[in-house]
């Protein structure tokens, strides 16, 4: 069956072309409308800026109150001067001249004796010129007298010291007692001091050293001097 319509009279055959043309036209118009600028043609008046005059700040006047000065102090009372009659006679001091002439007698002054005070000089046992001499150590050189004295004192202490005392005091083991004493200018034992683990041992050490015999005193430059002496006493307590 043949179509009765004319193909040229068909409206929808170029619809896509018309749509594309219309869309392009609308986009162009929209872009033009967005970017379109308008300007106000009225005249622009540039006015001159006038600054107002500076306002002067009014400073209020304050009145200064003057404080009246304090009243002057009352005048001091006049001192009453009492005149006392001078009834006491003052003797004048006459200073005699100390000048000497040929007629002045010279008074002889007796000789004044000055007593020399002997100082208690202490010289260590290690450096003394002449050591103290223990009885029985008179012979030999100074070094031999020192060695003899040390041996004699050690034997004397070993014989006289009560070693059982440490056990009675409840001590055990090795005991050490440090004793210091002096041999004075007369050869006697003085200034005994002891240091031990127990006061009982110190007392016993002082007792034994006090029994030492009198010695010949030590001498320094020919004069008798005091010589300090140190003696350690060491013994073992038997358990």
Q: What is the pLDDT of residue 108?
A: 66
Q: What is the pLDDT of residue 95?
A: 61
Q: What is the pLDDT of residue 50?
A: 46
Q: What is the pLDDT of residue 48?
A: 44
Task: Please report how the helices 142-160 and 199-210 are oriented relative to each other, as an axis angle in degrees rounded to 10.
Answer: 120
Asked whether 217 and 228 are in contact (CB, 8 A), the reply is no
Q: What is the pLDDT of residue 156?
A: 92
Q: Where are the domains of the chain?
A: 142-237
Q: What is the pLDDT of residue 35?
A: 78
Q: What is the pLDDT of residue 31?
A: 85
What is the architecture, at CATH level 2, of domain 142-237?
2-Layer Sandwich (3.30)
Residues near 178 by beta carbon (within 8 Å), at least 6 away in sequence: 194, 195, 196, 230, 231, 232, 233
CA–CA separation, 27 and 36 (whole Å)? 14
Each residue's pLDDT expressed in tens, for the chain with a length of 239 residues? 455 555 555 556 677 788 888 888 888 888 888 877 655 544 444 444 444 445 555 555 555 556 677 787 777 655 555 555 555 565 666 666 666 666 666 666 566 665 655 667 888 888 888 999 999 998 888 889 999 999 999 999 989 998 888 888 888 888 899 999 999 999 999 999 999 988 999 999 999 999 999 999 999 988 999 999 998 988 887 76
Q: What is the pLDDT of residue 72?
A: 79
One DSSP character per residue, 149-198 reads HHHHHHHHHHHHS-THHHHHTT--EEEEEEEEEEE-TTS-EEEEEEE-SS
Q: What is the pLDDT of residue 56?
A: 54
């Amino acid at each position: 069956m043949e179509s009765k319509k004319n193909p040229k009279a068909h409206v929808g055959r170029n619809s896509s072309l018309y749509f594309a043309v219309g869309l392009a036209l609308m986009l162009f118009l929209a872009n033009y409308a967005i970017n379109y600028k308008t300007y106000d043609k009225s005249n622009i008046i540039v006015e001159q800026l006038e600054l107002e005059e500076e306002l002067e700040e009014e400073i209020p006047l304050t009145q200064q109150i003057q404080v009246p000065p304090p009243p002057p102090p009352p005048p001091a009372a006049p001192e009453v001067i009492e005149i006392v009659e001078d009834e006491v006679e003052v003797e004048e001091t006459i200073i005699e001249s100390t000048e000497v002439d040929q007629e002045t007698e010279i008074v002889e002054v007796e000789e004044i004796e000055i007593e020399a005070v002997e100082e208690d000089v202490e010289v260590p046992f290690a450096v003394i010129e002449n050591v103290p001499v223990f009885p029985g150590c008179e012979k030999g050189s100074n070094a031999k007298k020192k060695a003899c004295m040390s041996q004699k004192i050690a034997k004397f202490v070993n014989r006289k010291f009560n070693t059982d005392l440490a056990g009675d005091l409840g001590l055990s083991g090795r005991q050490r007692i440090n004793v210091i004493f002096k041999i004075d200018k007369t050869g006697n034992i003085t200034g005994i001091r002891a240091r031990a683990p127990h006061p009982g041992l110190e007392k016993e050490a002082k007792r034994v050293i006090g029994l030492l015999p009198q010695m010949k005193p030590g001498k320094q430059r020919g004069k008798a001097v005091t010589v300090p002496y140190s003696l350690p006493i060491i013994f073992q307590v038997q358990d």
